[in-house]
Amino acid sequence: MKTPLIDPFQRAISYLRVSVTDRCDFRCVYCMSENMTFLPKKELLTLEELDRLCTNFIRLGVEKLRITGGEPLVRRGIMTFFNAMTRHLDSGDLKELTLTTNGSQLEKYAGDLYAAGVRRINISIDTLDEGKFAEITRWGRLPQVLRGLDAAQNAGLRVKINTVALKDFNEDELFTLTQFCADRGMDLTFIEVMPMGDIGNENRLGQYWSLKDLRTRLAEEYTVTDLAERTGGPARYVRLEETGQKIGFITPLTHNFCESCNRVRITCTGEIYTCLGQEGKSDLRAPLRAHTDDDAPLEDAIRAAIALKPKGHDFDYSRQELGGQMSRHMSHTGG
C-alpha cells in the first residue's frame, strides 16, 4: 500500500462514501424537491469508472466503503459494481462494503447483496405510520419498504434503521420506533435534520428536534448506558439495558463530531467533498477520464483534495437562523 491519505489535521482517511446516482424513487421532503431535474447520463461516472475510483481509494488506505445515492439500488446494473468490489473484500484490503438505502428495492436485491459480501446495511425509515410515510417520502409506500426489510433479514443482512428526528412529525413515535427495532433485533440511529438542499417552504428550524431532548425522553423509559464504541461514522451510541439494542445519535448541530472525521464523500459525477457541511469540492472525473491508462494523475488529484479538507463544518441552529446552510441537495452529495 502507498502512503495513506492524511488530511492537514492528521486525520487518516479510511472511510469513503460514494453516491452512484442522484436518482431516487422517493422524494423525501428533507432531501430533495418533488419535481427534481436529474443529471444527464453522460455526467455520471460509469460503473467501470466507479470501480477504478474506489479501487484507487482502497489502495490508498480506505477500508470501509459505503454506497449511497439517491437510492443506489435504482442505478441500472448496480450489482455489477457490488460484485466487482467483492475482490477487495476477498483480498482483505477492504474491511466492509455496505450501503444506505430507502429499502424499496431490497425485496429484489437483498440476496444478491449478501452474495457480493455485504453484511450490514442501513435502511431509512422515519415513521411507521403508513399515511405519514407517504407524506414525508411523497412517493414512497411503507409496505414495500417493510417487505424489503424482511427480505434483508431473511438474506442474513444485519439491518440498522436510520430515522431523521423531525419535530411535530415523529416525536410521538419515539418509543414505537424503538420497540419495533428491538422486536426485530435491529439497532436504531436518530439523525438531526440538516440545513441542506432546496428548503423552499420547508421550515428547517421548525423541523429541528434536538437529539439531547430525544435522549432525555428515552431515559424516562429505559436505562441508558453510554458506549465508547464507534463504527467509523459520526454516530455516538448508547445501549438500552432493557432491550440490549444500540441507539445511535448523529448530531452535527448539537454536538460537532468533526475532530474524529475519517471520511470523504464522492458524488455520482466524481466530485469529492471532504466535508458534508462545506461547499468546497474537487473534481476527480476529469483526471479519471483524461488518463484512462495511468492512475498517477488521479492519485495526485485525490491527495490534493484531501489536503484541502477543513477542520470542521458550520452547521448551526443556535442563533435561530440557518447558519451554514448548504445549497446542494442531500441526494447529490450522497448522505
Predicted confidence (pLDDT) per residue in 41-96, tens digit: 999 999 999 999 999 999 999 999 999 999 999 999 999 999 999 999 999 999 99
Assess whether pLDDT exceeds 60 at residue 331.
Answer: no
Assess whether pLDDT exceeds 50 at residue 197.
Answer: no
Look at domain 15-333 and name its CATH class.
alpha beta
Confidence of residue 231 (pLDDT cuts 50, 70, 90): low
Q: Find out whether 160 is annotated in a ligand binding site.
A: yes
Q: Find out whether 197 is annotated in a ligand binding site.
A: no
201-227 as b/e, with b when 16 or more CB fall inside 10 Å? eeebeebbbebeebbeebeeebebeee
Q: Find out whether 275 is annotated in a ligand binding site.
A: yes
pLDDT, position 326 = 46
Q: Find out whether 119 is annotated in a ligand binding site.
A: no
Grid coordinates in use for 18? Answer: 460514494
CA distance 29 to 162: 16
pLDDT, position 79 = 98
Residue whose C-alpha cell is 466492509: 96
pLDDT, position 199 = 42
Give the tens place of pLDDT for each residue, 256-311: 556 678 889 999 999 999 886 666 799 999 999 999 999 999 999 999 999 998 87
Locate the domains of the chain by residue range: 15-333
Please report which residue ranges of 202-329 form alpha helices under DSSP H: 204-207, 211-221, 285-290, 296-306
Please state, rounded to an integer, the average pLDDT across all residues of the chain.
Answer: 88
Q: Find out whether 54 is annotated in a ligand binding site.
A: no
Q: Find out whether 31 is annotated in a ligand binding site.
A: yes
Q: Which three-class secondary structure state does DSSP give residue 269? A: coil
Q: Find out whether 28 is annotated in a ligand binding site.
A: yes
Assess whether pLDDT exceeds 70 at residue 33.
Answer: yes
Q: Find out whether 30 is annotated in a ligand binding site.
A: yes
Is the CB of residue 184 less than 8 Å from the CB of residue 153? yes
What torsion, rounded to 10 degrees, do the Cα atoms 117, 119, 114, 109 define?
A: -120
Do the bridges between strand 246-250 and strand 187-192 make them parallel or antiparallel, or are there none, so unpaired? parallel
CA distance 185 to 181: 6
CA distance 48 to 31: 27
Q: Find out whether 158 is annotated in a ligand binding site.
A: no
Q: Does pTM top 0.85 for this prediction?
A: yes
